[in-house]
Amino acid sequence: LSTDFDGTLYADFENPPVPLCLQSLIRGLQSRGAKWVINTGRALPDLLLALEQAELGVEPDYLVVVEREIYRRHGDKYVEARAWNESCRREHTQLFERITPDLSRIQQWIRARFDARVYADAYSPVCLQSRSNEDTDAIVEFLEEYCRSVTNLTVVRNDVYARFSHVNYNKGSALGEIARQLRIGPDGVLAAGDHWNDLPMLSQEFARWLVAPDNAIEAVKKRVRQQQGYVSGQPHGYGVARGVEFFLEFNHYPLSDLG
């Protein structure tokens, strides 16, 4: 079970931010051997703080952070999938070194046309926080055009945020690596998400069973429907819970077995 965090699993204006019905479903599935992955764009420290504040009654078995790095729960800690993460960091470093001469030009183009925050962090030499989705649409179009000139470079977007990334590392490929380690094929994987950066994992290449809550953007709902997935009429974690229940019943799995 792979769930995006913000907007899909977690709604900070709800109390509790993750519905108890969804927590109960996940707990029941874990008791039967299922593994739960939180698959997010957040960095690891930020996600761990949010999980602590959410006071969950259930713990994820895996974390995918910044849409690419994998961590596995070991006791009360999360340890990194070293081989995957080291390869991920090495390939990103090599890719970003290639585009270093162009970074100033890219940043200047954005700042000259938009009131947007453009900065670098530990994960990308170009990160964006825009004022509106319309501005982000235009900036991402410019960045995607640039990416077409650089092998393996892509843009990852979530709402008014965006950053450069390596095309081979995303929520989908990270989920595929976890499934590979667990020796689980796509038929044994359910994925739920709500925004642009979730699209790579909302693919039957990685997950046979796909869920979008009611608050998902239209591009996500369309992609999920095209693959015979479930689009809920309820938002956030309630929508995920309904999707999990739907596919369990579709596969003749009695919900009563989950407690």
pLDDT reported for residue 252? 78
pLDDT of residue 257: 67
- pTM passes above 0.85: yes
Q: Is the peptide bond before 200 cis (omega within 30 degrees of 0)?
A: no
Report the distance separating Cα 173 and Cα 201, nearest Å. 7
The C-alpha angle 56, 79, 177, rounded to 5 degrees, equals 95
Nearest to 233 by CA among 247, 216, 249: 216
- Low-confidence residues in the chain, pLDDT < 70: 256-257, 259
Strand partners, 6: 10
Read off the tokens for 22. 């969804």
Order the strands of the 127-129 sheet from edge to edge: 117-119, 127-129, 161-166, 153-158
Greatest alpha-carbon pair distance for the chain in Å reads: 59
Instruction: For the beta carbon of residue 235, count every other beta carbon within 10 angstroms.
Output: 17
- Cis ω before 17 (30° cut-off from 0): no
Give Cβ neighbours of residue 231 (< 8 Å, ≥ 6 apart): 211, 212, 214, 216, 221, 224, 225
